[in-house]
Amino acid sequence: MNSDPHRANLAYIQVVGVSDRMEQHRRTRRRSWARLLELSVAPMVGPTARLRGPGDLGASVLIGAVNGLAHEWLMTDPRPPIEELVDLLVPVALSLIAID
């Protein structure tokens, strides 16, 4: 998201529903984020770690949290620093990792 509210507005709000092609692109990006979580984050937790939920649903929870938080960040004046958003999102991301 970085600290540029115009980029965040475009990436998280204006892009929604623009076209079928854009929606397919957004879905592909969500799957990429799910793979990143599976391949990078979960193994750091432990060898039997995995994302909760079937398919990409666990990653969709995190993506929804990011989108909702980005929207609120855009509407808040003054905007809190990005570090505060990260502090909110890290526990959400970690809660989506299950250890078998």
pLDDT along the chain (100 residues), means of 10: 71 78 86 83 81 85 89 90 94 87
Cβ neighbours of residue 99 under 8 Å, at least 6 residues apart?
Answer: 45, 46, 48, 49
pLDDT in the model for residue 1:
47
| Domain locations in the chain as residue ranges | 5-99
Please tell me the distance from the alpha carbon of residue 18 to that of residue 38, in angstroms, as a whole number: 29
Name the phi and psi angles at 55, rounded to 5.
60, -135
78 conformational bin, left if phi > 0, alpha if psi -120 to 50, beta if neither: beta
pLDDT in the model for residue 65:
93
pLDDT in the model for residue 97:
86
pLDDT in the model for residue 2:
53
Q: pTM for this structure?
A: 0.71
